[in-house]
Structure 1
Amino acid sequence: MALVTTSKEPSSKGRAVTAGQQAESDALGISRSPWDPDRTPGGSSGGAGAAVAAGMAPLAHAEDGGGSIRIPASCNGLVGLKPTRGLVTNGTVAVEGLGTSGMLTRTVADTAAALDVLARHDPAAWWSPPTPSSSFTAALETELSAGLRIGALTDSPIEGTGVHPACAEAVAVTLRTLESAGHHLVDTRLPLPPADELVSAFTTLWNIGGSGNEFADPDRIEPHNRALRAAARSIDSWSYAEAVQHTQQLSRRIVEAFLAGFDLLVTPTMACLPPHAGAWRAGAEDDPLMALVNSYPMGVFTSVFNVTGQPAISLPIHHDRGTGPPVGVQIVAAPWREDLLLQVSRALEVARPWAGRRLPVS
């Protein structure tokens, strides 16, 4: 995820940044999209996404702290579900609940089956809900009732970040399909807080996410990771505690408005097409944190729902100009409504099948 706040200084001093969305490193090389090797498979679970898209595995584990399940799903033409906060537990609570585990698959049925395995009560966890009383696979067999309230968000939550026409078209295609199935499009807008509020609180928490990682020789870390580590160390405990409280307050405001206005919200998964491999490095020789700034458009729609903890899924509903790169659409539901999210996703999969699409043969 790359929500970034910047100071007015030209250097990286005073800049709050988060982890990136590219699967590239000096040590291990560049991961590439099977759809177009000149483009990134996204990140941070880009390798998992590329493997599933290429047919190396039917599904793969992924983690999402700001979009790292949904972004690779969009880049690789896959289904990527970020579950509700706490539904799938980790060894520890990841970045104050912003992060969660999930999976990347080709079909909604595979996602439901995987979630049936992963969504289990963990009595040793810091927090963990009861195991769901019914399976998500069974939910797919229940006919979806018409009349859902469908909202849309197509303008970037962060002013100054444009939205590629293909990403906006993915939303339009989805809305037309849902409307034709008898669901109601509503004009209510999600009252998002000012971008600087959300970004500042999010990045303060996310920058500390690497605090449990110890290195024998920190000087050997790649430059942008070393810069992230330095930025994290500059955050004092009072600022961190404020950010914890602020993200919880923002989450409550957004979720309360969501519950009052929508059953589902449709947005682009990303504001851009999958960037070309290496594009994130522009300017990074002078300022290592520019690597994160450059990946900013990939996460502007996904990260807000890490703050709210709501379930959100990216579906491969569209391709740029028909045969170009995959373009995902994000659908968001109320907390704990993975069943509804999967039912709607399955209905879209039936109406606009994607499983039969094949990678281009070179």
Structure 2
Amino acid sequence: MISSSISATELARLIRSGEVSAVETAHHYLNRLDAANPDVNAIVWIDRDDVLRRAQESDDRLRSGDTSRPFEGVPMPIKDLVSVKNQPVTWSSLAVTEKLAEENEVTVDLIEEAGFVLFGRSNSPEFGALTASENQRWGKTRNPWNLEYTSGGSSGGASAAVAADIAPIANASDGGGSIRVPSAATGLVGLKPSRGRIPNDIRAWEHSTTEGAITRTIEDAAGVLDTLAKVDLLGWYSAPAPARPYLEEIRSPSPRLRVGLLLEAPTGVEVDPQNREAAEITARALEALGHHVTPVSPFLFSERATRGFADLIINASTWSSPIEDPEKLDAYIKYRYDRATLFHAGQYAEIAALLQWETRQVAAQWGRDFDILLTPTTAVPTPRVGSVYDEGNEDPAGPRLTEFRTISFTAFCNIAGLPAISLPVHIDSNGVPLGAQLVGGPYDEATLLRVGAELEQVFDWQHRQAPMVAAAGVR
């Protein structure tokens, strides 16, 4: 029996040992898709025959004695911003004609090489530039913990799929918080790797985006990072190789660390008391584990740099997206598309240089002033379905404060290329999870995963179930 809280690592072990086959696993999750997806709208496209074909190939490899793939037979949805050969890629937009991709992105090659069974496509906002997975093409994705609330974005289809037990793990990506925000909203673990850690065909948003996964456990986060973190000889650069596999790191004791506690948002927005509490209870847990926690006020980019990132870098990247009919764009994306034409190349180069220069000052604080940084994942509790989307479309040029508060603790990590992880440590008054974020020094995912493993033992989040899963009686 496949339980609703099973990790991808444990499921892979069951499949490898023959206790359950990959085909049986695929049927199990296809049944879960039929039961849960109509309510949450996490998976927006799936080829069932292809899923079963891939699962059969996994079983055939295992029967032949090939056990080299660590996640053989484990289903994984792919985000609708990622190209998979012979699957439609729409970037969740009506402004794009649906057509089959001609080749995989490099991340998909690595996912397949790890043995994962591709399990359809998960919803995202149009071209990924929103913190709620809602769009005209596929509709709204809802939170399995409370269907009146969003599952976050841009990897909200991914987070909803895992939280609703439609899949044990999901492909995700992060350009300003898009792994961590939805993980926080749905009670999951969301690791944003360092810049250059996982190969990308193109590092968008001035090298701030990265691929990754949304998982239930730290062990899964470490294991999938081990499989995806390859040196990319064809790319412009790669992160330095880790000292040892991340799975070994989480099984080793962590040294006691200097933890900087940041409760004020770097953007200056108000932080809800419930979000503060998520960070504060994590701080108390870290102190009980022997770490030294101290309030800090780090430099996390100037206002000019952060505004330039949002208003120039992201807008220019939106303009360069494969948009065929701009008039079919959502209003907030059309605003970004049009605004990109108001700047010239020199201004882009100036902001890009400023971001690089200030990153040196930001990154220097790790190891000098503190070892890791602890913050709330977001400055606002998870919003209701439609609120962020409507806010962006009704007044695209306005402050869009809800969205801004959602990314106020996460976006600086992408600009600086720092690794960061959201951990599901709290529940808000609406019964929706809240996360705390740990930010590591340059290329130091190992420390985040070791500390995450310690906190997992304290909070025991890996066994929690969303109410809709528990109510369904899924074992």
Determine which of 361, 380, 384 is the counterpart of 1:253.
361
**Alignment partner, residue 7 of structure 1:** none
| CA apart distance, 1:28 | 1.6
In the TM superposition, residue 126 of structure 1 has moved relative to its aligned partner by 1.2
Where structure 2 has 5 or more consecutive residues not aligned to the other structure, the ranges are 1-127
Contact 1:283 1:291 in 2 (8 A): no
Partner letter of residue 364 of structure 2? Answer: E
Q: How far apart are 1:259 and its partner, in Å?
A: 2.8
Deviates more, 1:184-193 or 1:170-179: 184-193
**How far does residue 283 in structure 1 lie from its aligned partner after superposition?**
5.4
Poorly superposed stretches of 4+, deviation over 6 Å: none
The superposition leaves residues 27-52 of structure 1 with CA deviations (integer Å, 9 ceiling, x where unpaired) of 22111000011000000110011001
Q: For 2:226, which of 98, 107, 116 is the aligned residue?
A: 116
Partner of 2:72: none
Q: Is the 2:335–2:397 Cα contact (8 Å) retained in structure 1? A: yes
8 Å contact 2:391–2:400 — kept in the other structure? no
Structure 1 match to 2:145: 35
Q: 1: distance between equivalents of 2:311 and 2:228? A: 28
The change in CA–CA distance for 1:286 and 1:51 in structure 2 (over 3 A counts) is closer
In the TM superposition, residue 250 of structure 1 has moved relative to its aligned partner by: 1.3
CA distance in 1 between partners of 2:252 and 2:434 (Å): 28
- Is 1:327 the equivalent of 2:434? yes
8 Å contact kept, 1:90–1:101: yes
Counterpart selection for 1:76 from 186, 198, 211: 186
SS at match of 1:259: coil
Post-superposition offset of 1:63: 0.9
Moved more, 262-271 or 130-139: 130-139
Matched residue type, 2:216: R
Q: Kindly indicate which of the two structures has a greater share of residues assigned to helix.
A: 2
* Alpha-carbon distance in structure 2 between the residues aligned to 1:101 and 1:126: 16
Letter in 1 for 2:419: P
How far apart in 2 are the matches of 1:355 and 1:283? 34
> Aligned match of 2:294 in 186, 193, 198?
186
TM-score between both structures, scaled by the size of structure 2 = 0.69
Is 1:263 the equivalent of 2:367?
Answer: no
1:89-128 map, 5 Å: 89-128=199-238
**Aligned-residue identity in percent:** 36
- 1:154-175 Cα deviation digits (max 9, x unpaired): 011122x211111111111111
Task: Report the more deviating stretch, 199-208 or 341-350.
Answer: 199-208
Matched, 1:86 2:196: yes
State whether structure 2 residue 274 is matched by structure 1 residue 166: yes
- Paired with 1:124 and 1:25, the residues of 2 have a C-alpha distance of 34
Give per-residue Cα distances to partners, 1:96-136, cap 9 Å, x unaligned.
21111111001000000000001001110111135434210
In the aligned structure 2, how far is the partner of 1:276 from the partner of 1:57?
Answer: 24
Report the alpha carbon displacement of residue 292 of structure 1 after superposing the two structures with TM.
4.7
Q: Name structure 1 gaps, 5 residues minimum.
A: 1-17
Matched, 1:207 2:315: yes
Post-superposition offset of 1:290: 4.5
8 A Cα contact 1:190 1:258, kept in partner: no
- Residue of structure 1 in register with 2:261 after alignment: 152
Partner of 1:11: none
- 1:46 maps to 156
CA distance in 1, matches of 2:228, 2:392: 38
The C-alpha deviation readout for 1:53-107, integer Å capped at 9, x for no partner, is 1111111111111000000011111100011110112101222211111110010
Equivalent residue, structure 2, for 1:356: 463
Q: What SS class does the counterpart of residue 152 from structure 2 fall into?
A: coil
Between the aligned partners of 1:130 and 1:39, the Cα distance in structure 2 is 39
Matched, 1:288 2:400: no
**CA distance change for structure 1 residues 145 and 284 in 2, over 3 Å: closer, same or farther?**
closer
Which has more radius of gyration?
A: 2
Instruction: State the one-letter code of the partner of 2:230.
Output: R
The aligned residue for residue 65 of structure 1 is 175
Cα distance change on mapping 1:101 and 1:228 into 2, 3 Å: same
Provide the C-alpha distance between the structure 1 equivalents of 2:262 and 2:250, rounded to a whole number of angstroms: 26
The SS at the match of 1:117 is helix
Query: In the alignment, what sits opposite 2:251?
Result: 141
Q: Structure with the greater relative contact order (CA < 8 A, sep ≥ 6): 1 or 2?
A: 1
Please state if 1:341 is matched with 2:451. no
Query: How many correspondences in the alignment?
Result: 342
Is contact 1:42-1:75 (8 Å) kept?
yes
